[in-house]
Amino acid sequence: MSQEYRVAVVGATGQVGTLMLRLLRERGFPAREIVPFASERSAGKEIEGVGTVQALTEETIQGFDLALFSAGGSTSGEWAPRFVEAGAVVVDNSSKWRMNDEVPLVVAEVNPDALASHKGIVANPNCSTMQMVVALKPIHDAAGIERLVISTYQAVSGTGKKAVDELLDQSHALLHETEPPAPEAYAHQIAFNALPHAGSFAPGDDHTDEERKLINETRKILGDEEIRVSATCVRVPVVNGHSEAVNVQTREELSPEEARELLRAAPGITVADDPSSALYPLATEATGHDEVFVGRIRRDPGHERALDMWIVADNLRKGAATNAVQLAEILNERDLITPRATSTLA
């Protein structure tokens, strides 16, 4: 008889958490109970069809087999190890554990075998990295990737619910010719703008943390520290769905036709590539879907071993919630939801 798990969803009132709750049910994850957790502000609220939101305490976190976290890095830093100590396996959406050598950083279609080495915590990559590596994996396997030049066009839902409200409120004000509310989620007005500042600048760094994540996480997931990566992450006034223009320089020659065939055959990818009929991936069309969409696949006229492509996905789904639930499913299928020691994680 297959096992049924007691599952915690931490950050259950947020955009990613809400979707994880929905996907666990829709995809039939074998849970005998799902308990929603959020901040103290939400404790006691009812989530329809799920139950009462709990606050995180030493008592409330006991007795779980699995915990899916999407409540930010500081909450994961403090509470993910405590869940592990209490016997759960944690799948974490925040950036807190991703680059820890003891923590596998896993994309379901790309490196699922890395899950076997987990010591209690498994990390879900950053949304812009996630969708890109799904598209890069078949190309890397076939021709080897030497260098990537990436420009992202990232939606505001990637910043959280408050940023979505900020875009809508500013847009509404500007369309009604009134003073837009001052920026809070971003350094500048996001409505009708493009901010070359997705993420934040650490003191002394000329790249944002989002750009560093793209560079470092891509190498870790593809298992190749030699790949050179140049990244510019831009926040655009799109509600949901990240788009990326990626220049892929390969070690072996690969034609656009060969790349298209590889991508068509790869799991989790839909190729939408007929520019003459205005067919290419769009954020509005990717929203609500779990796949990664790839189009505009063409030879870079400036380099005989480089291709350009346009990669789009729903950042809340494949970029976060869908992959987290896929990882939970693989952990279950491979019998990896078992208590581990966590003493080395800090």
Ligand X SMILES: NC(=O)c1ccc[n+]([C@@H]2O[C@H](COP(=O)([O-])OP(=O)(O)OC[C@H]3O[C@@H](n4cnc5c(N)ncnc54)[C@H](OP(=O)(O)O)[C@@H]3O)[C@@H](O)[C@H]2O)c1
218 binds ligand X (CB under 6 A): no
What distance in Å separates the CA atoms of residue 79 and residue 272, rounded to the nearest whole number? Answer: 41
What distance in Å separates the CA atoms of residue 152 and residue 43, rounded to the nearest whole number? Answer: 36
Is the Cβ of residue 13 or residue 249 nearer to ligand X in the bound state? 13
Is the Cβ of residue 19 or residue 259 nearer to ligand X in the bound state? 19
> Site for ligand X (CB under 6 A): which residue of 34, 35, 56, 198?
56
323 binds ligand X (CB under 6 A): no
128 binds ligand X (CB under 6 A): no
> Site for ligand X (CB under 6 A): which residue of 5, 7, 8, 11?
11
Phi, psi torsion values for 238, nearest 5 degrees: -110, 135
> Site for ligand X (CB under 6 A): which residue of 127, 191, 266, 313?
127
Task: Give the bridge partners for 274, in sequence order.
Answer: 279
60 binds ligand X (CB under 6 A): no
61 binds ligand X (CB under 6 A): no
CB of 13 to ligand X, least distance (A): 4
176 is catalytic: no
Is the Cβ of residue 83 or residue 249 nearer to ligand X in the bound state? 83
Are the CB atoms for 231 and 214 separated by under 8 Å?
Answer: yes
Beta strands in the chain (DSSP E): 5-10, 31-37, 46-47, 51-52, 66-69, 89-92, 121-123, 145-154, 228-235, 242-250, 269-271, 292-299, 306-313
127 is catalytic: yes
What distance in Å separates the CA atoms of residue 280 and residue 282, rounded to the nearest whole number? Answer: 7
* Sole window of 80-88, 225-233, 293-301, 313-321 interacting with ligand X (rule: CB under 6 A): 313-321
CB of 48 to ligand X, least distance (A): 15
Length of the chain: 346
> Site for ligand X (CB under 6 A): which residue of 160, 181, 183, 237?
160
CB of 17 to ligand X, least distance (A): 5
% helix, strand, coil for the chain, step of 5: 35, 25, 45
Task: Give the bridge partners for 115, in sequence order.
Answer: none
Give me the DSSP letters along 132-174: HHHHHHHHHHHH-EEEEEEEEEE-GGGG-HHHHHHHHHHHHHH
Residues that bind ligand X (CB under 6 A): 11-17, 38-39, 41-42, 56, 70-72, 75, 93-94, 127, 157-158, 160-161, 315-316, 319-320
- Catalytic residue numbers read 127, 242
